[in-house]
Structure 1
């Protein structure tokens, strides 16, 4: 089964999508299988990460922003704004597709894991994630 999730982001950062994904699986799938996610953008990515302590998310965001700074004079792709080329690099360094096992109709995430859309642009965006559920 293939479905799509539309996620509105309010700017750069990690946006939890675990609940939307869980609702989709409950309504469309039963049993054991695999959930594959693919984000259809080149300036946002997907991540399974710590969901208990928000400071872990902030630390990840700060670290990636330090690794890939904006306004680097080496960037030539600047037509879409100062955050665009860094967003492409951040996407390249992270993931646009992830797979998570489904066991008894539930994502087989660890106790403290969550699924995130990582928005790399500053402005509001609408992102589309293709979800493939297979037995």
Structure 2
């Protein structure tokens, strides 16, 4: 509401905080997350095989659910691919930030190491091309 009322003048005043500063804060946040993963990734290697499997299979299952919903809703190929990518990536976009504050006793080696150290690279290297192919083919 404040943004609507203040218009362009308010936007110009807030630009250093809402525009430029955001990029810097995002960079520091991502750096912090990366350092946490680097510090804790050794512990993630000793995780249960079930957790390791879920780190790879979970995104595939979520992407397949998204594919089914997209086809049911009649979404375009591009929208289907995007929904699949977002569904498959939810575990490393939301979970680390939420768990860090909501469940402080949770082990960062598991939720950071597996989501950002295993699921993220899997999705970047194999998942996104696979989801895009599946959306176009099916």
TM-score under structure 2 length normalisation: 0.35
Tell me which protein shows more strand as a share of its residues: 1
Query: Which structure exhibits the higher relative contact order, with contacts defined as CA atoms closer than 8 Å and separated by 6 or more residues?
Result: 1
> Which protein shows a greater Rg?
2
Tell me which protein shows more helix as a share of its residues: 2
